[in-house]
């Protein structure tokens, strides 16, 4: 494990490194992970390539997100000056960005932390997501299985939920779903209309437990899980700073409807 940690430190992910799990990483295929990590570093180190990825991702943004910052927007340090309903509105929009990046775009900027978002008090105006230099292109199969997992979890389809986890190598065909249902509840909220708050510390505990469990059962899971975890960690930190409770299932359904609707 110390060898894994030493390799991770060489990846130059900046402060994002603190969100990486430090146990159970040997259940990730190292060569697959290294290939993806090299892509991230290559994009981050080449200004022209980085600019192209940034432009391509910004072209996908919903209309409420501007590609440029403005002095009228509020940074994290000033969010306490925004009304609770304004913070809640942008919290929902940031969750939508997460779902869109995974379920539709299949490419994402890895940094969803609060410092990257500049929010408008006027809901008729756009806010700004200041993209970092770290990007990942998710594997299509991984996105398909995560879509199936979300559908199975939120729409009470245990067979789909099990199949998605089995496809990704997280569980065997005979393993119980209950431990993973509890982990999903911690990550994504109840599969009901019940609103839930977001707590980074609790998420990190459950995320690390997931890798410990997978290691204990001698499974191998896609390396994309690492990058998904980075995105979710930043998302949780951001939403915890915004405050409020969110109905994740409703937001997920809205995003899915947007994806499925004709353009």
Structure tokens of 154?
Answer: 């939120």
Helix, strand, or coil (residue 113): coil
Q: CB 196: neighbour CB atoms within 10 A?
A: 16
Q: What percent of the chain has pLDDT over 90?
A: 49
Helix, strand, or coil (residue 211): helix
pLDDT at 168 over 90: no
| Residue 2 binned pLDDT confidence (cut-offs 50, 70, 90) | very low
- 17: CB partners within 8 A, 6+ apart: 8, 9, 11
Interatomic CA distance for residues 211 and 174, integer angstroms: 19
Question: Where is average pLDDT lowest: 65-69, 115-119, 169-173?
Answer: 169-173
Q: What is the pTM of this model?
A: 0.90
pLDDT of residue 80: 97
What are the tens digits of pLDDT across the range 137-167? 999 999 999 999 999 988 989 889 888 888 8
């Amino acid at each position: 494990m110390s060898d894994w940690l030493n390799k991770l430190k060489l990846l130059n992910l900046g402060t994002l490194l603190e969100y990486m799990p430090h146990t159970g990483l040997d259940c990730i295929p190292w060569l697959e992970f290294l290939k993806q990590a090299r892509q991230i570093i290559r994009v981050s180190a080449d200004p022209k390539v980085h600019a192209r990825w940034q432009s391509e991702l910004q072209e996908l943004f919903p209309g409420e997100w501007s590609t440029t910052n403005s002095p009228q927007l509020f940074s994290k340090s000033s969010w306490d000056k925004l009304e609770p309903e304004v913070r809640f509105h942008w919290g929902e929009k940031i969750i939508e960005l997460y779902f869109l990046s995974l379920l539709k775009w299949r490419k994402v900027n890895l940094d969803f932390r609060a410092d990257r978002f500049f929010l408008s008090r006027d809901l008729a105006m756009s806010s700004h997501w200041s993209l970092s230099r770290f990007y990942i292109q998710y594997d299509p199969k991984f996105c398909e299985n995560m879509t199936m997992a979300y559908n199975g979890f939120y729409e009470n389809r245990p067979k789909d939920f099990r199949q998605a986890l089995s496809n990704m190598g997280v569980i065997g065909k005979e393993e119980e779903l209950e431990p993973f249902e509890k982990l999903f509840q911690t990550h994504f909220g109840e599969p009901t209309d019940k609103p839930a708050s977001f707590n980074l510390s609790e998420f990190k505990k459950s995320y690390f437990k997931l890798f410990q469990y997978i290691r204990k059962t001698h499974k191998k899971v896609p390396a994309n899980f690492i990058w998904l975890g980075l995105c979710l960690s930043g998302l949780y930190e951001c939403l915890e700073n915004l405050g409020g409770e969110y109905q994740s299932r409703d937001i997920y359904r809205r995003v899915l409807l947007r994806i499925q609707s004709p353009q």
